Amino acid sequence: MPVNVSGVTRSTCPYCGVGCGVLVEPDGIGGISVKGDPDHPANRGKLCSKGSALAETVGTAHRLLTPQWHGESVDWETALNGVADEFGKVIAEHGPDAVAFYVAGQLLSEDYYVANKLMKGFMGSANIDTNSRLCMSSTVAGHKRAFGTDTVPGIYDDLDEAELVVLVGSNLAWCHPVLYQRVMAARESRDIRIVTIDPRRTASCEGALHLPLKAGSDVALFNALLAEIDRRGAVNTAYTDAHVDGLDEAIATAQASEPDVTGLDSALLQEFLDLWINTEKVVTLFSQGVNQSSAGTDKVNSIINCHLATGRIGKPGMGPFSVTGQVNAMGGREVGGLSNMLACHLDIENPEHRGVVKAFWQAPAMPEQSGLKAVDMFKAVGDGRIKALWVIHSNPAVTLPDADRVRDAIAACPFVVVSDITIDTDTAQLADVVLPAAAWGEKSGTVTNSERMISRQRAVLSAPGQAKPDWWILAEVARRMGWEQAFAWENPAEIFAEYAALSGLAGELGKDFDISGLAVLDAQSYDKLDPVRWPQSAAKQGGRFFAEGGFFHTDGKAKMLPLVPRATAEAPCEARPFRLNTGRLRDQWHTMTRTALSPRLSAHLPEPFVDMNPRDVQRLGLSAASLVRLSSAQGHAIVRLHQTEDVVEGDLFVPMHWTGMNAPSARIDALVAPVVDPISGQPESKATTVAAEEFAAAWYGFAICTTQFTPSSDYWARARTSTGYRCELAGLSTPDDWESYARSLFDLPDATVQHMSDSKRGRHRVGFFSGDILLAALYVGPEPVALMRDFLVGLPGQEAPWALAGQACGDMPDPGAVVCSCYAVGRNTIKRAIASEGLTSVDQIGGCLSAGTNCGSCKSELAAILKECVSTQPVCLIEKRRLA
Ligand code: SF4
């Protein structure tokens, strides 16, 4: 397909592992328009809310434009020489294991390859790990144990062809929305069943059979399934005899396993077992709920065991299917971004593999042992073993478990380099050197999605200021450390060709990742490369794996494993009676460095919150809209209460996205225990035990402003709006003078001030105007302030002399919290339309309000609102509470 037609360039969305193709058109003044690519096989023209809002996240306002050395702008020559010198000195004085790289699934494969080659082949340490360790390293370990290498057997088409889709620990509707829409489309065209296995009721439970199993009991559940497969004679003995080892031991262990630990009703459990066993075409799709566990690798293998026993693998419509979190998490696995891997799925601790790569790279120094995995890496930063750290496109000061300790460790590390597009991250703020990296839209390379599809990301904009691609920055440092020849590439096409050639040697060693068929691409053909699924070798091009065996263990067989269920590392106790689950929201990405720039994405859920069961709310004596202080053995957080039956008693859910930049008290990974799976090293991010109590503030506030402002109160959470910024605030001590407080908050010296006070009741409202135009307003009360927030956020910059009333005036309706981000349709608007127009389906809501008709990411929320409006039965309220 043509790469560039009439100024439109084909590229790839930079967010999740679905890897959707996009059509990008620059507007000539630094902006772009973005649409789904109808010819990309992953999304066929669809985009979710995040992909649809990509155009709102480009621009230079927030960008780092020059290299910074201890806060001073320097030129590239100074910065690169300095970084090379510092890393060289540390290696010379303390050895190669005193340095480390922490990289990200947001890197392109070419960038990743260069970082891996520099650290493992030339600096001589394996201390390079990726934030994908936190995302899917348990899957990598599970695949390797079962298949002999990290192979995803299936492809997305299997979701179109399956008769049963089982989502395990995956809120696919919010975290991989386009894939979820694909499953929904299949369900509309024929009779398929969906099962969602999750302790929490999520948007993905809408219309599905929901198994609310107890946290960490997945192995017991899939052991029950394996035992039942055996009991019912459903083992595919022709397949297992020919292609599988370990069947008898795995079944014997499964039979001894106790299904009661799942906490599932026995009839519900039996319904699931019947459905799975009686449906030949079953895809078991899993994600972070499986991986982010101290038994994550066992969970992965317990799922694979059932597919191997039945031979339901690698055939149309069936197989275990891991979906990756980040757009190039898979690429990171392929290039050796994990500290225990070499490039092309080769193993660092295998002498033959090491020898082949060393010779290919002509590497002077190659470690013989695996490097430090993420959690251990930052422990080593903290205890001084690592003295020079380079963080590339990641924010570990927020995202690692025990994040406060990690933040302190980075702050104390003698030399820290951060490459990023902005300096406004918790981690970049701690760095000695910050290097301006090119952003999505400015750089070229490849990414691999969850179905092994390699797609091109293409530059459509010039990098602003002195920003440079990551491969260039890394290669320039390598050259300055004396390795000119090995890092002499001129462009990403040359890097890709080298990488593809190395993969051919991996293929000769019997590995699955072989794209040697692409090693012949010159710069022009690389630039035109269409999406292509690996492998691409003389022996095999794309397709599925393992329908006819052909596993990558030396005997060619798969391994089923006997798996004894293990409890989560921490059990709730008197001091910490709650179990904290963390995860993603529909419209935000990681630590919000890009998605928070989009007003419409920020409108969906603008404040950090905790989901808590109503019975726990009652027990703790909390009232609606309370602030809740959560405490673990590691740290504390303050978040807004959201009362919901979506979580069971004793369970809590808090989203992972907020940082010191936009809600310093809601850095939820500060609470998460640094407990990891013993095989994969992946942290248990969903089962930390915590205490909860009211954060009894003396005052609560809500503020809006045309420009960004940063409060200094005990609690604040700021979000972008279409007119400026909104912020929730609260404090333990009351300022003497609210007008002075508001003046210092907004810094608008030339504005006219209106001040309304009811001191007796502790209510104060301060507005800042230019004529009748509202510039900013602060609303304060002794309890969470009831206001029409979703109406008020539209006022800054408008004529609104009555703004301090805090209500809509005249016949202007309050739209309510945004549900459909694409068309900015609020909950109240939807409910009014359902009532007044007699709407009875999601399609009718779309026809009336357009809600849900663009990306479709909100369809399950629309269905829930519809159900709530037309039914007296309790329903899942997926939309979160607002104070209005
Ligand atoms: Fe991007 Fe959404 Fe597609 Fe993921 S599903 S790649 S976030 S458009």
| Digit-coded pLDDT (tens) for 161-175 | 999 999 999 999 999
Confidence of residue 838 (pLDDT cuts 50, 70, 90): confident
Task: Return mean pLDDT, the chain.
Answer: 94
| Any ligand 1 atom below 6 A from CB of 51 | yes
If you measure from the C-alpha of residue 855 to the centroid of ligand 1, how many angstroms do you get, rounded to a whole number? 10
Checking if the pLDDT of 870 tops 80, the result is: no
If you measure from the C-alpha of residue 560 to the centroid of ligand 1, how many angstroms do you get, rounded to a whole number? 34
If you measure from the C-alpha of residue 42 to the centroid of ligand 1, how many angstroms do you get, rounded to a whole number? 10
Checking if the pLDDT of 624 tops 90, the result is: no
Most ligand 1 atoms within 8 A of CB, residue of 172, 178, 324 to mutate: 178
If you measure from the C-alpha of residue 842 to the centroid of ligand 1, how many angstroms do you get, rounded to a whole number? 22
Number of neighbours of residue 756 by Cβ within 10 angstroms = 14
Structure confidence by residue, pLDDT tens digits, 713-722:
999 999 999 9
Confidence of residue 459 (pLDDT cuts 50, 70, 90): very high
Structure confidence by residue, pLDDT tens digits, 559-583:
999 999 999 999 999 999 999 999 9
Structure confidence by residue, pLDDT tens digits, 318-366:
999 999 988 899 999 999 999 999 999 999 999 999 999 999 999 998 9
Confidence of residue 883 (pLDDT cuts 50, 70, 90): very low
| Any ligand 1 atom below 6 A from CB of 13 | yes
Query: Residue whose CA is closest, atom 2 of ligand 1?
Result: 48
If you measure from the C-alpha of residue 178 to the centroid of ligand 1, how many angstroms do you get, rounded to a whole number? 6
Answer whether 634's CB lies under 8 Å from 668's CB: no
Checking if the pLDDT of 504 tops 90, the result is: yes
Confidence at residue 5, expressed as pLDDT on a 0 to 100 scale: 54
Separation between Cα atoms, residue 837 and residue 816, nearest integer Å: 18
Query: Which of the pair, 284 or 862, is modelled with greater confidence?
Result: 284
Query: Which of the pair, 403 or 828, is modelled with greater confidence?
Result: 403
| Any ligand 1 atom below 6 A from CB of 19 | yes
SS3 assignment, position 778: strand
Percentage of the chain beyond pLDDT 70 is: 97
| Any ligand 1 atom below 6 A from CB of 156 | no
Confidence at residue 871, expressed as pLDDT on a 0 to 100 scale: 64
Nearest-atom number in ligand 1 for the CA of 13 is: 1
If you measure from the C-alpha of residue 48 to the centroid of ligand 1, how many angstroms do you get, rounded to a whole number? 6
Mean pLDDT of 784-793: 90
Confidence at residue 877, expressed as pLDDT on a 0 to 100 scale: 32
If you measure from the C-alpha of residue 425 to the centroid of ligand 1, how many angstroms do you get, rounded to a whole number? 23
Confidence at residue 867, expressed as pLDDT on a 0 to 100 scale: 84
Answer whether 856's CB lies under 8 Å from 177's CB: yes
Separation between Cα atoms, residue 197 and residue 807, nearest integer Å: 42
If you measure from the C-alpha of residue 18 to the centroid of ligand 1, how many angstroms do you get, rounded to a whole number? 6
Nearest-atom number in ligand 1 for the CA of 12 is: 6
| Any ligand 1 atom below 6 A from CB of 502 | no
Mean pLDDT of 103-129: 97
Pairing of strands 724-731, 699-705: antiparallel
Nearest-atom number in ligand 1 for the CA of 47 is: 8
If you measure from the C-alpha of residue 19 to the centroid of ligand 1, how many angstroms do you get, rounded to a whole number? 6
Mean pLDDT of 174-188: 94
Checking if the pLDDT of 825 tops 50, the result is: yes
| Any ligand 1 atom below 6 A from CB of 107 | no
Confidence of residue 391 (pLDDT cuts 50, 70, 90): very high
Query: Residue whose CA is closest, atom 5 of ligand 1?
Result: 178
Separation between Cα atoms, residue 172 and residue 167, nearest integer Å: 8
Query: Residue whose CA is closest, atom 3 of ligand 1?
Result: 20
How many Å from the N-terminal Cα to the C-terminal Cα in the chain? 50
Confidence of residue 70 (pLDDT cuts 50, 70, 90): very high
Separation between Cα atoms, residue 370 and residue 115, nearest integer Å: 16
Most ligand 1 atoms within 8 A of CB, residue of 11, 12, 18 to mutate: 18
Paired tokens of 785: 């302030």
Paired tokens of 313: 């693998």
Checking if the pLDDT of 874 tops 60, the result is: no
Residue with tokens 């003046």: 743
Confidence of residue 809 (pLDDT cuts 50, 70, 90): low
Separation between Cα atoms, residue 10 and residue 18, nearest integer Å: 16
Mean pLDDT of 243-270: 97
Among candidates 425, 423, 397, which has minimal Cα distance to 410? 397
Confidence at residue 537, expressed as pLDDT on a 0 to 100 scale: 96
Structure confidence by residue, pLDDT tens digits, 669-694:
999 999 999 999 999 999 999 999 99
Torsion of CA 631, 633, 634, 637, to 10 degrees: 0
| Any ligand 1 atom below 6 A from CB of 18 | yes
Checking if the pLDDT of 860 tops 90, the result is: no
Pairing of strands 68-69, 433-436: antiparallel
| Any ligand 1 atom below 6 A from CB of 43 | yes
Confidence at residue 4, expressed as pLDDT on a 0 to 100 scale: 55
Checking if the pLDDT of 289 tops 60, the result is: yes
How many whole angstroms from its chain centre is CA 879?
20
Confidence at residue 641, expressed as pLDDT on a 0 to 100 scale: 97
Answer whether 826's CB lies under 8 Å from 817's CB: yes
Mean pLDDT of 388-409: 98
Nearest-atom number in ligand 1 for the CA of 43 is: 3
If you measure from the C-alpha of residue 34 to the centroid of ligand 1, how many angstroms do you get, rounded to a whole number? 12
| Any ligand 1 atom below 6 A from CB of 409 | no
Mean pLDDT of 785-799: 92
| Any ligand 1 atom below 6 A from CB of 46 | no
Confidence at residue 6, expressed as pLDDT on a 0 to 100 scale: 61
Confidence of residue 3 (pLDDT cuts 50, 70, 90): low
Confidence at residue 873, expressed as pLDDT on a 0 to 100 scale: 39
| Any ligand 1 atom below 6 A from CB of 493 | no
| Any ligand 1 atom below 6 A from CB of 20 | yes
Nearest-atom number in ligand 1 for the CA of 178 is: 5
| Any ligand 1 atom below 6 A from CB of 16 | yes
Confidence of residue 879 (pLDDT cuts 50, 70, 90): very low
Checking if the pLDDT of 134 tops 60, the result is: yes
| Any ligand 1 atom below 6 A from CB of 47 | yes
Answer whether 134's CB lies under 8 Å from 683's CB: yes
Mean pLDDT of 40-61: 93
Checking if the pLDDT of 30 tops 90, the result is: no
| Any ligand 1 atom below 6 A from CB of 48 | yes
| Any ligand 1 atom below 6 A from CB of 21 | no
Percentage of the chain beyond pLDDT 90 is: 85
Answer whether 17's CB lies under 8 Å from 285's CB: no
Mean pLDDT of 818-843: 86
If you measure from the C-alpha of residue 866 to the centroid of ligand 1, how many angstroms do you get, rounded to a whole number? 26
- Note the pTM of the prediction, 2 decimals: 0.94
Mean pLDDT of 647-675: 97
Torsion of CA 868, 872, 874, 876, to 10 degrees: -10
Most ligand 1 atoms within 8 A of CB, residue of 48, 159, 601 to mutate: 48
Number of neighbours of residue 379 by Cβ within 10 angstroms = 18
SS3 assignment, position 487: helix
If you measure from the C-alpha of residue 225 to the centroid of ligand 1, how many angstroms do you get, rounded to a whole number? 32
Confidence at residue 219, expressed as pLDDT on a 0 to 100 scale: 98
Residue 228: HSE in the Cβ half-sphere, 13 Å Cα cutoff: 18
